[in-house]
Structure 1
C-alpha cells in the first residue's frame, strides 16, 4: 500500500505478502483485525493474502478454540526468479521475533 506523505509517496521494500508473512512468523496467533491494521490493509486483503500464502505452501492454518494459529514453512524458496536461490528462512532472519 502506497501512502502519500506530503508531496512524496511513501513506499516499503516488502510487498504486503511479505509483511503478512513476517508478522505471522513473529506472532502465529495474531488476529486478522490486528494483522490487517499493522500491515495497513483491509481485513479482506489480509484474508486473501493468507489464502495465497497457504495455497502456495508457505504457511498452514489450524484452529485453536475459536482462533486461527499459523505455522510458517520457511524452507521454501522466495518466489521471484531473481531471489529464488534464497529461502523464506533467509528473509525471516532479517526480522527478529
Structure 2
C-alpha cells in the first residue's frame, strides 16, 4: 500500500488531538492556519482541539501581539485508562524520535522501513 500524501484512509493510529499536540511541540509559535494545513484539518477543527487541550490542562497559551505562543504541560497524564501513567512528554518523545528518523531518511534519500 503506497502512502500517497493526498490519500485518505478510513482510520489512523493517531488522533487529531495527538497530531496537533505534536505539531505544537515542534513549533510552539505555529499559527492555527499553519497547524490546520500541516495536520490536514480545518482551522475551526484546530481551534476546537486547542480549546479541548487547554480545558483539560495539556496546553496553555500566551498572547504576544497578534500571535499565540503555546506551552505544553509535559507532566500531564494521558486520559485513557489504557495509557494510565503515561505522560504527554512520553507520547511526544516517541513521536519526536519517529519524526527525526523519518526526516533523516527522507533527507538522505533512503527508503523508509515504515510498515
TM-score, L = length of structure 1? 0.87
* RMSD between superposed Cα atoms in Å: 2.1
Shift in Å at residue 95 of structure 1? 2.5
Q: Distance in 2 between matches of 1:17 and 1:43?
A: 13
Unaligned runs of 5+ in 2: 1-5, 101-115
Counterpart-to-counterpart distance in 2, 1:93 and 1:40: 22
Moved runs in structure 1, 4+ residues, more than 4 A? none
1:94 aligns with 2:104: no
SS of the equivalent of 1:95 reads helix
Q: List alignment gaps of at least 5 residues for structure 1.
A: none
Q: Which residue of 2 aligns with 1:67?
A: 67
- The Cα of 1:12 is off from its aligned counterpart by 2.4
Normalized per residue, which structure has more helix? 2
Q: Counting strand residues as a fraction of each chain, which structure ranks higher?
A: 1
Three-state SS of the structure 2 residue aligned to 1:20 is helix
Larger Rg: 2
- Deviations, residues 4-40 of structure 1 (Å, cap 9, x unaligned): 94xx835421100000011111100001001011111
